[in-house]
Structures are given as structure tokens and as C-alpha cells.
Homo-oligomer: A and B are copies of this chain.
Amino acid sequence: MKYGFFDDAKKEYVITTPTTPYPWINYLGSQEFFSLISNTAGGYSFYKDAKLRRITRFRYNNVPLDLGGGRYYYLYDNGDFWSPGWAPARKELDRYECRHGMGYTKISGKRNDIETEVTFFVPLNYNGEVHKVVVKNTGDKKKEVKLFSFIEWCLWNAQDDQTNFQRNFNTGEVEIKGSVIYHKTEYKERRDHYAFFSVNAPIEGFDSDRESFIGTYNGFENPQVVAAGKSNNSVADGWSPIASHCLAISLEPGETKEFVFILGYVENPLEEKWESKNVINKKKAEDMIAKFSDGAAVDKALDELAAYWDGLLSKYTIVSKDDKLNRMVNIWNQYQCMVTFNLSRSASYFESGIGRGMGFRDSNQDLLGFLHQIPDRARERIIDLASTQLEDGGAYHQYQPLTKRGNDEIGGNFNDDPLWLILAVVAYIKETGDYTILDVKTPFDNDESKATPLSDHIKRSFDHVINNVGPHGLPLIGRADWNDCLNLNCFSMEPGESFQTTTSKDGRVAESVMIAGMFVYIGKEYAKLMEKIGNQAEADRANKEVSKMKDIIMEHGFDGEWFLRAYDDFGKKVGSNENEEGKIFIESQGLCIMGGCGIEDGKAIKTLDAVEERLGTKYGLVLNNPAFTKYYVEYGEISTYPAGYKENAGIFCHNNAWIMCAEAVVGRGDKAFDYYTRIAPAYTEEYSEIHRMEPYVYSQMVAGKDAGRFGEAKNSWLTGTASWNFVAISQFILGIIPEYDGLMVNPAIPASWDGYQVTRLFRGDILKITIKNPNHVSAGVSKMTVDGKEISGNIVPVFGDGMEHEVEVILG
């Protein structure tokens, strides 16, 4: 069952009912000001940091589910009132539509012959959310309606805001001037920032005190002010400051009126904070408001935003016979990758935005999905990440976006972390050809006095694995590898204790076959890079270590039919047929094969067949099987989840991509693409009532076959799934692969395909690549011509002329 449709021409998902199975959201903003917005305008905004600089209040896990806060509009028409986005008023609409587009959301609703459309977006280079509200009288009688706006201020620190009521109920302060309501809580003391909510028209009234607007015992669905059709002109004094305008609007039949509301954020230098005693300096806000004084200015900014996104999405485009594939590759998967670049894991409808910094491994992997879109900012992100690395090659697991410093509270010792940095650097150089990044003097632990070239950082990443191996010569797992919930050194018996930050054992025994697989996969890339920059000695050393590790994997890391997952602290196998539960795990299968293990001797194929048999479901591949049904203190968090959820045999979509890649590596394009379609949102749209999350973006997890709610997704949007699935489809399956000296073409596709076209902007060149599959094979390039001339091999050279070049590839 579907709740909307893709409008590919407009790059929009169009939602046709307000009561989707879960609020379906979009993200606004791409620089410093960000918003989450649902299909009924729920959600919130923040500046840079979702915890410390929250602008509007939001209640997670609310009852009713969707009324936790948002930017709300109410139309009042002669005693009747409703919201154009259905919520919060929840009066039945004659027509409802929500269009989630690239960095904007447009919600429209009609009732009583009044059609209202609100377009929400954050303009480029602007610290605010702009709402263009268009109200039209579609009837044949004159209408006198009122439009009420509503937002609720968060008292800046989102965590404190929801816990420290003894203080916070006393501190709220506002100023009202003309049609602008300013939120200035704590501005008089240590804050140098305020927020405002404005409208470009005279107002009939306003409210800034929540209780005065809503009423003590009313809800967002029926504020007393809206029901009465008249503002109370309340001035907040403690309690919960809000901002609400009331506009009286007169509309002749067929007449349309347009209003611009702005929710903005301003910082002032200390010496310019005040206009006069206790009166804030409003200059910057007034400039921001002036910028969008009418609808035309807004439309221009919307056009600029569209051009910005067209630019980002133009780097990789496909034309195929499969509309779902096209919209995933051309629009939604890349869009989601950019959102993970902007937000990391900070704030979604499942991440309350107060808990997490930028993950080291998360961000390095995210880079793989977005760096072709904005290589400059990818470069900056790489340096930020590497600057938090430690001298021994290890890494802080997270860093704080405001300070960019490593997070002491979480610490390090997640032993896969360092390797992802190598992969990100390699991908960056392959995309850009910019080797100078290797020379950037980069600090350790943010200490500039310890700065060394980035090339030294990735060497230490490589060596960190070699220097930390266990009894079998496999890499020590540390606190956890990529699977945060496989905690082999934790041994927690304390209720509620964090598995990630608790380490009870010294930990020189538990080993990770997954890190070993990563090491051969990424270590080879490291060796290639060293060779590329002329450091043959280092390349040789690296290749030797990789080769050694590969042997160790095949000797101690292969269980007969698939790869082991790990050895636990007692030296016992994890993910072995010997185990009663958790006999097979997904991660090591994908990464070992991506590293080339078992290719020659058939073990890779055998492994992948076992994966399909034991982990495969119609909704994707589960993480492990059988699910754990009791707590294993020696395994940690993975065994705490109910069977089929999250890391305990859930379909963890991130790692599904590694199996797609592995299938591509062994040339099985049909299987690779089959796995792709099982979890790619455009394909899951058909059963949205089961999947429940947005059908235009990936979710982190889909409940596995052991779960009571098999097929139900959770934690949409901010997941490494986005980048890895883009890598899988764009590089491993469609086979358009950046290499140091050009763009490699090496597809692994369903044999039934006739072909497809990819346009790839690569180092300034515009490569129009047509892939033809006359013999219906899955893999293997038999012939390639560039601008009509056949070339040997399958790498399109770099022209560097910024011109369009035609590439034709024949498979067979």
C-alpha cells in the first residue's frame, strides 16, 4: 500500500494523506541552520548543534505521535478552524498534499473554499527558515479569514530544556516589535544569540505565552486563541515562550494573498548585544527580514536552492528502464547522502539530537557517498576527522561538531575506526586527483604541536591494526568493531550500563574477523596509494602485511562454509556452525570477500550461498542467524535486543550493501541487484503499510524474520546505509568507479538488462557513458570506445578539458 507517489520531474515525493504510517520527514538547510519537517509540518530547527542550539521545542515519543511540536498554521473562518497541513488542528480537509523536495517541503490543504499552500525552506547562506504562505479563496463569495501562526521556543539546550523545569519555567523572555516576536531567553546573561519569528504584514494580534495561546487544558489541536479567533497579545514571562501571529485576511472570490514568515537565528558580538538597556540589538534580524520582504524574493531563493541541488545531483545520473532505480540513483539516494553529510547521526525522528557527536567511522563512511557531490567539503571533513586521531593510530569514536574535539566521554578503542580513514582518503584522491591532501599537516588529538602530514595519519591507521592483533594474529576487536553491539570485552551485569563505554576486560584476546576483512580490503587500497605516490617500499610492506592477514583469515577465520565473525574473550569462535545461536554473521562475509578472500578457491561463492540461505529474507538480509534468545554476557548488547531487532538478527541495511558489493566482486550481478531492490526505498514503497518509514530514504534497520513485526523499518534517514548503498549501486553494480588515473567501468548487473546510460562529471569532464549488454551477461567489459575511439582496458582517461565525452561500453 502506498501513501503517495514519486514526482521524479520535480524531484519530489508527494504524500497524499496526512496520516502516513509514521510521520514522514524531510530536512531543510545545508550549511548551519537545519530543520526537520514532517508531512504535517511537525519537527524542529537548530543552529549547528541539535543539542546546544535548539531553536524550537519538540517532544519525541509524543502522544499523539505527531503533535510533539512544529511550525503550525491555523486558518480561522467564521467559527470554524483548521490547519492546511491537517495537523495540528486535525480537521478534515477537502484536499491535502505534502511535497518533500530537495531542501524544501510544500504542504497544502483546502477547506471551506480556502486553499492554503505553505512552502518551507532554508535559503542558501541564510540562518533561518522561510515559510511562504499562499491563501486563496476558491469559492464564489468574499471571505474574511484569520491566519494564526505558531512556533514554540526551545530554551536553547535541548536536554536541559526537557529536564530542568525548576529553573526553566522562570527564565523565558521575549520582545515584540511590530510583526516580529523575538526570543531572548538568557540573552541578558551569557548568550549572544536570539531567535525571531516574523511576518511581512501588519498583524491583528500576537501571543508569546504558550498557556495564553493554547489554554491550560487544551492541546495543539484546539488552542483557545484559535477557537476564539482572537489573539490574547500575551507577553511571555517565564513558563513556555512561543510565537504566534494573527493576520486578518480579506479575500475576494478567486483572490490570492501571499505572506512570508521567517524563523531566524542571530548572533551578535558582545559589544553590540544591546540597542538600549534590556532591548536587544535587532539590526541583523531586520536585515534578514528585509531580504525576503515579498514573495518574489522568496521565489528567487527557491530557484537558487533548486539550482544548488541540481548541481549537486548532476555529478552522477543514470537513465535506465527501471524508474525506481533511476529515482534512487539520481535523486533520493544522493540526497540522503548529502543529509548524512550535513547531520551525521545527530537528529532524526529516532535520534533526539542530544546524544551523539560526529562518529569517526560514521563520517568516514558517509564521505564515500557524498564526496563526488562536494569534494571541497569532503576534504575539510577528512582533516577534521583525522585531527581527532590519536598518536597510536587509534581514534576518538566521536567528536563534537561545535568544538571539533574528540569526545572524552565516549573515548576510543573501537578498533575498526582507524581503517575507515584510509578508505575515505583513498576515495577522495580517486575522485579528485588531489594528492596534496596527503601533505596537510594534521594534528593528533587536536594538538597542533603534534601535527604530521595526513599520509602519516593513514600509515598509523594501517599500523594500528598490525600493532593490535590477538592470539590467532587476527585484529583485536577492542570495545567493538563496526558492530557497536558486539561487545566482547564488556561483560556488563549492571542494568542500564552502557555497553559502549564500559570495558571490564583488558582485551588482548577477543579478535575480529570483520576488521581482518577490512584490513585486506582497505590495506590493499593503502598499498596501491603508496605505490601511486612512489613510496614503493611502503607499498611492499603493506602488501606483505595484507597478504599475511589474508592467510590468517583463511586459516583461522573461515568456518568451513562461511567466515567466522570473531573470537571472544575466551578464545571461542563467534559466528560459527559450532555455536547454538548466532552461527553466522553478515559483516565478515561481505568485507572478507570485498578484500578478495576466497575468490580463487570458491570459498567466496560458497559463503555467499550460505548468506543467502541463512540470512536472506524478502525484506533484506538479517545480520545474524539464529537470533540470540538470551543474554550472553560475553557478547554484550547484541544479545539484549529481542530477536529480530537491531543488531540481533535485524535487517541492518548498512551491511546489506557489503553483500551486494561482494556479489559484484564475484561477478554475480543478478544477486547483487536483487539484494539492492530488497531494501532500496523506491522498491519498498509498495508495502509502505508494513515498512512504515519514508519510502524515499533508507532506514537503518528493518525488523528481521525472527521479529514480531517482520518487515517494519526504524530509524530512517541518518544511517551509513545511504552511502554504502550508493557505493554498491553506483560503483559495484552499475560499475562506474573512480580510479587514480581515470574512471573505471566495470558493471555487475542482472543479465537480463539490455543496458543503461550514466552521465558522470569527473574531474571537470562530462562523461556520457552508454553501457550495452547485447549478450546478456552480468559482468565483464568486452569493448570500450571513448569519443568513438576504442581503447584498451576499461578505464576512461581524464581529459581535463571540461568537455563532454561519449563513452560506449559493450559487455560480454
Chain B residue contacts of A21, Cβ below 8 A: 216
Chain B residue contacts of A700, Cβ below 8 A: 166
> Does B61 lie within 8 Å of A67, measured CB to CB?
no
Within 8 A of B (CB), among A584-600: none
Q: Is A275 an interface residue (CB 8 A)?
A: no
Give Cα A220–Cα B240 distance, bound, in whole angstroms: 22
Chain B residue contacts of A216, Cβ below 8 A: 19, 21-22, 65
> Does A714 lie within 8 Å of B352, measured CB to CB?
no
A353 to chain B: closest residue by CB: B163
Copies of this chain, tallied across the complex: 2
Chain B residue contacts of A190, Cβ below 8 A: 492-497, 631, 640
Chain B residue contacts of A210, Cβ below 8 A: 63
Rounded to whole Å, the gap between the CB of A351 and the closest CB of chain B is 6
Chain B residue contacts of A631, Cβ below 8 A: 188-190
The 3 closest A-B pairs by CB, nearest first: A237-B708, A189-B631, A170-B645
Q: What does the 1/0 interface line of A229-248 toward B look like (CB < 8 Å)?
A: 00000010110100000000
Within 8 A of B (CB), among A700-717: 700-701, 703, 707-709, 714-715
Chain B residue contacts of A60, Cβ below 8 A: 162-163, 165
A contacts with B, residue count (CB < 8 A): 79
Q: Is A570 an interface residue (CB 8 A)?
A: no
> Does B714 lie within 8 Å of A170, measured CB to CB?
yes
Q: What does the 1/0 interface line of A314-355 toward B look like (CB < 8 Å)?
A: 000000000000000000000000000000000001111011
Chain B residue contacts of A167, Cβ below 8 A: 646
B-binding segment of A152-160, A444-452, A722-730: A152-160
Which of B52, B169, B192, B220 contacts A63 (CB under 8 A)?
B220
The winner among A22, A166, A494 for most chain B CB atoms within 10 A is A166
> Does A165 lie within 8 Å of B641, measured CB to CB?
no
CB within 8 Å for A61 and B240 given contacts A156-B495, A166-B715, A495-B156: yes
Q: Is A775 an interface residue (CB 8 A)?
A: no
Rounded to whole Å, the gap between the CB of A628 and the closest CB of chain B is 10
A237 to chain B: closest residue by CB: B708
Chain B residue contacts of A350, Cβ below 8 A: 165-166, 169
Which of B22, B219, B235, B640 contacts A171 (CB under 8 A)?
B640
Give Cα A211–Cα B171 distance, bound, in whole angstroms: 35
Rounded to whole Å, the gap between the CB of A641 and the closest CB of chain B is 6
Q: Is A214 an interface residue (CB 8 A)?
A: yes
Chain B residue contacts of A703, Cβ below 8 A: 238
Chain B residue contacts of A189, Cβ below 8 A: 631, 639-640
> Does A352 lie within 8 Å of B165, measured CB to CB?
yes
Chain B residue contacts of A240, Cβ below 8 A: 61
> Does B214 lie within 8 Å of A63, measured CB to CB?
yes
Q: A19-B216, A59-B59, A61-B240 are in contact. List 13 more A-B contacts (CB 8 A).
A: A63-B219, A157-B496, A159-B163, A166-B350, A167-B646, A171-B640, A171-B642, A173-B642, A186-B495, A189-B631, A189-B640, A190-B494, A235-B708
Give Cα A21–Cα B216 distance, bound, in whole angstroms: 7
Q: Is A792 an interface residue (CB 8 A)?
A: no
